[in-house]
Chain A
Amino acid sequence: MSPLDEAALNRLLQNPSGEPELLERLKAGDFDELLAARPELDGETDRLLLALAPKEAPLDELGWRRLRSKLVPQRRAPAAMFALAAGLAAVVGAGTWAIGGRVAPVTEPGLKGAGKLLLGVEAAKQRSDGAFEVLRGDDEVKPGTVLAFRVTSPLDGPARVFLQRATEVPEELAQVRVKQGAAQLEQESGLFGVNLEDEQGPVTIWVVAGEGLFDVEQALAAIAGKPSALVVGKVGVRVKP
């Protein structure tokens, strides 16, 4: 009896009619482990299995934006989200929100929700000297202001960040994670920030979080105040030239 190894499998794949014994052993599943480790038919197997319950989904806008930035030259978008420089991490990364000598209260305006399900969201703007200053709710800022955020959350979990211009439908900016307690809002490449270049008028940043995965529609429903297991918070600024 031939040993069941890579060489035997190669012989079989190259000349199945010449290896009847190995073919029978393939049928019996004796090669399953070896076959699973090889790349042949990997994609076809997955394609077939996933076709049993095919899924469609609306465009994942955030994912598309991330991907586009790697594929095509970028135009600068208003209200662009980005990772703040490492220097900011050094300023606010000590676990406090003491920027510019102030410690912002956790319960600033910018809370929404019911009962104990609340997210506190605070914003800080970057000053011309590079330092960050905590904002009060609905403070006036100039176009091009860079905002960073701290979130006080009752849970650990995935979160979605939205930007809303006046009363327009909120536009998703990012998918992040929040941690129980108070922490700066971060994305994989560093602190999460928003550039208000080209913005004007009232701008609201919404953060929606949950204990499990949720989609944009669920987040928007929670923002709209519909009953939801998600927790919601917001902070508003007024952009004025």
Chain B
Amino acid sequence: MKTPGEQIEAARRGDEAAYRALYQRYRPAVVRLLEGFATLDFDEREDIVQDTFTRAFKSLDKLQVDKAFESWLLTIARNRAKTALSKRASEHDTMATFSKESLDAVPPFPESLTLEVDIGVVRDLIGRLPEGPEKDTVTLFYLEGQLSAREIADKLGVGKSAITMRLERFRARVKRELMLRVLAGRVA
């Protein structure tokens, strides 16, 4: 079986089997990310999944570090989701809001991050959250990983937007922790 790096390399050459393997491997993560946007409906989500993979596969030549593929893919998916929600809110503002968006741009991969180490940091962050709705929401979505944000809203009896906001708030904390680790690596 080919490694993800080998599959990416084959996909650059237009290998259909490699596209298929990458789609199968990474689709669950893309779908799961989109399930965090509670106001996206099923059809919108499926369209974004398609758009995400199409854009990524057609821009593979720009990906310089193969191990950044998943991060890059998730960045594209998040941007597509934001664009879809923005379009829904206001067709007119879309270009202004996302004019800075550059979906094909591949961000530099921070070498100072290590998934295995950073997972421990995130678990610790969740553990230190005060008992309450945010911790319940984060636990259900990220730790248990079964329910969508929409389903969590139903389960907890709150609005869909509230769930998305709680997840985004926690995500901001995680991003801050990662940034501190990157900066620490840069200082060192």
Contact = CB atoms under 8 A, between A and B. Distances in A.
Interface string A60-95: 100110111011100000000000000000000000
B159 interface: no
Interface in B75-131: 75, 78, 107, 109-110, 113, 115, 118-119, 122-123
Contacts of A225: none
B151 to A, nearest CB: 8
Contacts of A55: 28-29, 32, 145
Contact of A16 (B19, B58, B146, B186): B186
Interface in A157-191: 158, 175, 177, 188
A175 B75 CA distance: 26
A48 interface: yes
A74 to B, nearest CB: 11
Contacts of A27: 176, 180
B49 interface: yes
Contact of A47 (B43, B70, B144): B70
B62 interface: no
Interface string A31-45: 111011001111111
A56 B28 contact: yes
B73 A43 contact: yes
A63 B143 contact: no
A49 B122 contact: yes
B33 interface: yes
Nearest to B167: A49
A213 B42 contact: yes
B174 interface: yes
A178 to B, nearest CB: 12
Contacts of A175: 46
Nearest to B27: A60
Interface in A1-47: 12-13, 16-17, 23, 26-27, 29, 31-33, 35-36, 39-47
A43 B175 contact: no
10 contacts: A41-B110, A41-B178, A41-B179, A43-B78, A44-B71, A46-B71, A48-B118, A49-B142, A50-B32, A59-B20
Of all A-B residue pairs in the complex, the 8 with the closest CB atoms, nearest first, are A53-B145, A43-B71, A43-B75, A55-B28, A16-B183, A36-B172, A46-B74, A32-B172
Interface of A: 12-13, 16-17, 23, 26-27, 29, 31-33, 35-36, 39-60, 63-64, 66-68, 70-72, 158, 175, 177, 188, 213
